[in-house]
Amino acid sequence: MREVPSSEFAKNFGRYREIAQREPIAVTSHGRATGYFVSAAEFEELQRYKSLARHSFATADLPREKAEAIAAGRMSPEHDHLNALLEGE
């Protein structure tokens, strides 16, 4: 990944727009990356991945029905050896 200072990026935006079609560009300020410039295709791929990510939340926020369904769940018998490991502790 290429890194470029923000002042350089601003002066030569057109050049870096072309480069971003091939590789992401880290835009830096005082030696630290403050943002990334990527192609539209790469950004759309990132958005797809984000939409597939699981959402997490506090168990206290679970609806009662979901909490009961989780409590009623049982592991497949093929995993009984794991329970035996826990019981041996």
Cite the residue boundaries of each domain of the chain with CATH code 3.40.1620.10.
2-48
Cα 10 vs. chain centroid, distance in angstroms? Answer: 28
Residue pair 17/10 in contact (Cβ under 8 Å)? The answer is: no
> How many Cα atoms occupy the beta-carbon half-sphere of 5 within 13 Å?
5
pLDDT-based confidence at residue 86 (cuts at 50, 70, 90) = confident
Q: What is the mean pLDDT of residues 70-76?
A: 84
**What is the per-residue pLDDT for 79?**
86
Hey, which CATH number is domain 2-48, 2.40.10.10, 3.40.50.720, 3.30.2270.10, 3.40.1620.10? 3.40.1620.10
pLDDT at 7 over 90: yes
Contact 38/24 with Cβ under 8 angstroms? yes
The pLDDT score that the predictor gives to residue 89 is 56
| Mean pLDDT, residues 51-74 | 83
